Structure 1
Amino acid sequence: MVTTRGLREQAGSEPITMLTAYDAPTAKLIDEAGIDIILVGDSMGNAVLGHESTLPVTIDEVKSRTAAVSRVTENALVVADMPFLSFGVDEAETIRNAGMMLKEAGADAVKLESGAHTVETTQRLTELGIPVMAHLGLTPQHVNQIGGYGRQGTTKQAAREILALGREHESAGAFSLVLEHIPENLAAQVTSEISIPTIGIGAGRDCDGQVLVITDVLGLDEWSPPFSKQFGDVRSEIQNAVTAYKDAVENGQFPTAEQSHIEEELDELY
């Protein structure tokens, strides 16, 4: 079973694999494939809930889907994403929401979209026994503030800030750090400067691990981010299966006797 301590020891020796999941069947397949970490991401907003951003995702939605993922996961570390405004507004509420993910939904850790404002939060949560995965670079919950989903850390000042915040979150107790959509050479410097594992998404080849959104990996959508890759074509498979079902029903080929049952005692009801 993957643990936060084990992941820290794995940094720099064996690549860490991480994927998102939002339901039990997908989580079970990911776990059986030997993926190290399953993130129940607020990316569910875009990926499966039909929203244009992650902002509308609620704490109850993340809690419900985290519980579904946790029920079927035996080996991977389950990390629950803390959605927009579920943390940072009030310390007591932050602690309750994060603790609920472990106590009621069965998560092993939580992830915070991070910045200077989350250093103390990270320290407090870890003091209480709630492991924290930090997240720097592109933080989608700040889309309205940063003006879109562009690459971050492209100037020396911005890069220094990311490096400094990585160090601060390590000192605050974070067990790992997601680096999203930043230059590869910046991610390499952060990875070399901190001892906790870095997990990249659009951050190049030098991170200790990689994470992608499962719908991108499966090729479920027509579009995926330029830093992602579609490793399958599940979209076409679903379209083919649904079309085949529709044709079979309309042509009278489904159901057949094999999918039906006859109870002889019911032949004559009157």
Structure 2
Amino acid sequence: MPHRSVTIPQLHQWKGQGRLITMLTAWDYLLAKLLDRAGIDVILVGDSLGMVALGYDTTLPVTLDQMVHHAQAVRRGVESALLVCDLPFLSYHASPQQALGSAGRLLKEAGVQAVKMEGATPGVLAATELLVQSGIPVLGHVGLTPQMIHSFGSLRQQGKTPETAEKILAGAIALERAGAFGIILEHIPASLAQTISQKLQIPTIGIGAGHDCDGQVLVTADLLGLTTQPPPFAPIYAELGGAIATAVQAYCQDVQQRKFSPLT
């Protein structure tokens, strides 16, 4: 049975207890309801919905209006999990005040409980401080940050050199000091993720970052086998893509051969 109303203080308590945190993404009501009933701790309305729900090649085209729309649908399916939503590309980069306005929309219009921003630039740190001071919890995100794909050149692992590893560690520490309640560590070496997790008082949630984070997150479409090219670090727990295709083909065959018998 799912637990009741996961809170941010609970996540902090779980880190101290060594109780690992579970997190998955959702982009509509039905999926959110299924995840929540299954007992997931945190549901993220990730801008990855741009690819798995909207058909974009990257997360960059996703707009704030689209995130609000999808978060509203997810909210209606969630009773127990903590609901977090990504701020999409260029909805928080201009100024801390822009970030406050964007995050405020997600809380007021969609009922999310926290927002996530990528990176640890001075602008993101300043925005994190302002949002937290304004009562909006912030989840940080360092390592591979997909909104920076054009700067990275590809979605390759980050932090493999001493210099880049030190920069990611410093960014995580700075986000904690700015008031972030937790940090996503994406596609970095397991040893670096372990170091960050040990140094921080707030929870770390890994995705392609080894086993030593305080929790794990995946894009649910990858976990369920619904994507054709999941990232190399994403395990597949069910091959639902193939199962759906088989079911649809069987239905089409039954209809075309007059074998379909609707229930009455």
Aligned partner (choices 198, 202, 205) of residue 192 of structure 1: 198
1:5, 1:54 → 2: CA distance?
30
Alignment size in residue pairs:
258
Aligned partner (choices 51, 61, 75) of residue 80 of structure 2: 75
Instruction: State the Cα deviation string for residues 86-112 of structure 1 (Å, max 9, x = none).
Output: 112133222111011111101010000
The corresponding residue for 1:53 is: 58
Q: CA deviation at 1:52?
A: 0.7
Are residue 38 (structure 1) and residue 38 (structure 2) matched? no
Q: What percentage of residue pairs aligned between the two structures are identical?
A: 47
Q: What is the one-letter code of the residue matched to 1:146? A: F
2:7, 2:34 → 1: CA distance?
19
Please, what TM-score do these two structures have when normalized by structure 1?
A: 0.93
2:33, 2:153 → 1: CA distance?
36
Report SS of the residue matched to 1:211.
Answer: strand
The corresponding residue for 1:86 is: 91
Q: What is the one-letter code of the residue matched to 1:229? A: P
2:96, 2:195 → 1: CA distance?
32
2:154, 2:141 → 1: CA distance?
17
The corresponding residue for 1:267 is: none
Are residue 154 (structure 1) and residue 160 (structure 2) matched? yes
State how 1:234-253 maps to structure 2 within 5 Å: 234-253=240-259
- Kept after mapping to 1: 8 A contact 2:120/2:174: no
Instruction: State the Cα deviation string for residues 214-240 of structure 1 (Å, max 9, x = none).
Output: 011000123211111100010111111
The corresponding residue for 1:102 is: 107
- Kept after mapping to 1: 8 A contact 2:84/2:113: yes
Report SS of the residue matched to 1:207.
Answer: coil
2:13, 2:106 → 1: CA distance?
25
Q: CA deviation at 1:255?
A: 4.5
Q: What is the one-letter code of the residue matched to 1:125? A: L
The corresponding residue for 2:9 is: 5
2:203, 2:211 → 1: CA distance?
13
The corresponding residue for 1:268 is: none
Give the gaps of 5 or more residues in structure 2: none
The corresponding residue for 1:168 is: 174
